[in-house]
Structure 1
Amino acid sequence: MRARAVLTAVAAALLLGGCGPVRPNDPMPNDPMPTVRPGADRITAGPEVRPATGAAAARAAEVAAAWPGSDLQRTWEHGYFPLDAPAEWLPDGAFRSSDDKAAYLDGRIDLATTLPVSVSGLTEVRFADGSALALPQRSAQEVLASLTHRSDSCAADCDTRLTVTAVRPGTATVATSRGQATIATWEFTLDGYAGPFRYPAVLPQQPPPPATAPEQPDDGISTTLRAVSPDGLVLTATVPYGCATPAPGTVHETDLAVVLIGRAAPRALGPDEMCDAVLHLAQVEFRLSRPLGTRTVLSLADGRPQLPRP
């Protein structure tokens, strides 16, 4: 029961919040068996492929089986699913002053130009492989409204205002689930700034819910993919843990998907010891039976696809 409580708490913390950076330590390549280094936060798997077992294995099999032909797979492989497209690109050196920054964040922005209008209401996302996808365009008026309709919370120096003097179409390159893509942007020139403030002119498609309901098995922990080795045989992922000892994880593999299962064992406490409330991260290397290739890494908890997030 204590193990279940620990893993459930860790799972909840993972699902509710993001994970911060971790400090990679050097692995011990000469150890033939999976090894946990005392005091370290990297766990290195040995050359064996550890089979998945228990409730977590059943969950991983369910997630992998639901992936082929799902709406989520179609969106991931054929839609527009950006991975690093920000809500805005600020010019170099922004902002000139704290008053300008406060005015921008408060939405104290005036329009002193005519906004361009799209005829078709559509825009194209062009992918590196030459394919393109037509999607509804986010108009310049919508962008301006998102900037000016912010909650004005200024308490001092509220006289400072920013003025939009020009709006032009532009482009930006973003990373997506289908590789690099070029998207349309709106470039807003603000009085006193040489570089434009840029905003996406297309919004990402909302991914459909996974085919399986989110679930965190008691004997497994959902991971976050961080890196793939050059030969595709080792995946590095972070595994969150609390009052426990991180352990080598296991892998469920199919021809189309890979599901990583993090593991942690409850830590034995002395009579006067108590667990802290800190969520820790361990870097774990998961060895596959064959290179990852075009297979998709899926989250154990919610079945959503992942790409490396350094």
Structure 2
Amino acid sequence: MRGRIATAAAAAALLLAGCASTPAESGPEPRPTLITAGPEVRPATGDAARRAAEVTAAWPGSAAQQAWEHGYHPTGDPTEWIPQGAFRTDADKAAYEAGRLDLNTTLPVSVSGLAEVRFADGSRLTLPQRSAQDVLNWLTGRPDPCRGQCGDSRLSVTAVRPGTTTVPTSRGQATIPVWEFTLSGYDRPFRYPAVRTQAPNPPTPGPGPATGSGGTVLLSASPDGLVLTAAVPHGSCDSVQPGEVHETDQAVVLIGRITPRRLAEGHACNDVLLSTPVEFRLSRPLGARAVLGLADGRPQTPAAQ
């Protein structure tokens, strides 16, 4: 889905060492293997440490922290839920992705214009509702990825009903309202959130980290909260090293480390973005502390949760 594509694009933006024009060793590229954490914590150093300190210093009391701890902040991909096995044909898929949908039903309209998010701990949050009309406008207003080269077939929207689904958030699982769109020829509905995320912009925009260090994408946390595993993006000419950690009582920043590989004369590396999982050992369990991105200051949640 588009959210996953966006995630991949964000990971690509973390690439710190370009490799399209640099010679590389010949032979097959090594498969990424987990770089395990040693028995000792590796504190952050250098320019990356200074950047990490800026990120963690800006977190307490920020709008981002308030949204993370008290608002609705989905951590997965809350843009759309397409039925498993869709689509019936390539023509239907092309029509959907190009926004060629015809409305052949009446859209429901909310009287209050409000929607409720229910969290697993029993708390509730009332937010402005995203209307069914807004969803339809989003679906039909997207640019055609095929630029008119994938045919002119269309899909018909035959029903739109309210529903609910459960999504992971920074506050645990939450049940949110959705709009269920039924398309002609499909038994299962296509679902879209009827409420918007409250995630604000990152609190610390600024320059990225120095060459040789970079952000990570959090993957999982050990049961005791002492070891975090994160993906470190890198080029095919780079070797991934054990990473470093910057910690405060409210936040943690993981710093990936990469170094150029020894090169063989007459060979050029490709421009493929790779990703290697690395373990980062903390000085104490993660607990309720947020894991913040080094480059953008945004909080992350382990994908395994």
- TM-score, length of structure 2 as denominator length: 0.81
Where does residue 256 of structure 2 map in the other structure?
A: 262
Where does residue 16 of structure 1 map in the other structure?
A: 13
Q: 1:279 aligns with which of 273, 278, 288?
A: 273
Q: 2:297 aligns with which of 278, 303, 310?
A: 303
Deviates more, 1:271-280 or 1:87-96: 271-280
Where does residue 169 of structure 1 map in the other structure?
A: 162
* Structure 1 runs not aligned, ≥5 long: 1-11, 19-37
Instruction: State the Cα deviation string for residues 8-58 of structure 1 (Å, max 9, x = none).
Output: xxxx9955279xxxxxxxxxxxxxxxxxxx976321222112232222222
* Displacement of 1:291: 0.9
Instruction: State the Cα deviation string for residues 88-134 of structure 1 (Å, max 9, x = none).
Output: 22234433333333333333333332221111111111111112222
Query: Is the contact between residue 32 and residue 277 of structure 2 (CA under 8 Å) also seen in structure 1?
Result: no
Deviates more, 1:266-275 or 1:277-286: 266-275
Identity of aligned residues (%): 64
Query: Residues 78, 214 of structure 1: CA spacing in aligned structure 2 closer, same or farther, 3 A cutoff?
Result: farther
Equivalent residue pairs, number: 279
Query: Is the contact between residue 102 and residue 154 of structure 1 (CA under 8 Å) also seen in structure 2?
Result: no
SS of the residue corresponding to residue 42 of structure 1 reads coil
Measure the CA separation in 2 of the matches of 1:281 and 1:166.
42
Establish whether residue 227 from structure 1 lines up as the match of residue 224 from structure 2. no
SS of the residue corresponding to residue 146 of structure 1 reads helix
Query: Is the contact between residue 75 and residue 170 of structure 2 (CA under 8 Å) also seen in structure 1?
Result: yes
Looking at both structures, which has the greater relative contact order when contacts are Cα pairs under 8 Å and sequence separation is at least 6? Answer: 2
* Displacement of 1:155: 5.3
Where does residue 32 of structure 1 map in the other structure?
A: none
Alignment of 1:1-310 (within 5 A): 14=11, 16=13, 41-150=33-142, 154=148, 158=152, 160-242=153-235, 243-269=237-263, 272=266, 274-309=268-303
AA at the equivalent of 1:201: A
Query: Residues 89, 212 of structure 1: CA spacing in aligned structure 2 closer, same or farther, 3 A cutoff?
Result: closer
SS of the residue corresponding to residue 100 of structure 1 reads helix
Instruction: Indicate the RMSD between aligned Cα atoms, in angstroms.
Output: 2.7
Query: Is the contact between residue 12 and residue 233 of structure 2 (CA under 8 Å) also seen in structure 1?
Result: no
* Displacement of 1:60: 1.7
SS of the residue corresponding to residue 225 of structure 1 reads strand
AA at the equivalent of 2:13: L
- TM-score, length of structure 1 as denominator length: 0.79
Deviates more, 1:217-226 or 1:67-76: 217-226
Query: Is the contact between residue 54 and residue 219 of structure 1 (CA under 8 Å) also seen in structure 2?
Result: no
AA at the equivalent of 1:238: A
Measure the CA separation in 2 of the matches of 1:240 and 1:106.
31
Instruction: State the Cα deviation string for residues 150-191 of structure 1 (Å, max 9, x = none).
Output: 456555763x44332322110111111111111111112233
AA at the equivalent of 1:75: A
Query: Is the contact between residue 63 and residue 300 of structure 1 (CA under 8 Å) also seen in structure 2?
Result: yes
Query: Is the contact between residue 202 and residue 297 of structure 2 (CA under 8 Å) also seen in structure 1?
Result: no
Query: Is the contact between residue 292 and residue 300 of structure 2 (CA under 8 Å) also seen in structure 1?
Result: yes
Query: Is the contact between residue 122 and residue 137 of structure 1 (CA under 8 Å) also seen in structure 2?
Result: yes
Query: Is the contact between residue 214 and residue 303 of structure 1 (CA under 8 Å) also seen in structure 2?
Result: no
Query: Residues 13, 111 of structure 1: CA spacing in aligned structure 2 closer, same or farther, 3 A cutoff?
Result: closer
Query: Residues 278, 197 of structure 1: CA spacing in aligned structure 2 closer, same or farther, 3 A cutoff?
Result: closer
SS of the residue corresponding to residue 134 of structure 2 reads helix
AA at the equivalent of 2:161: R
SS of the residue corresponding to residue 35 of structure 2 reads strand
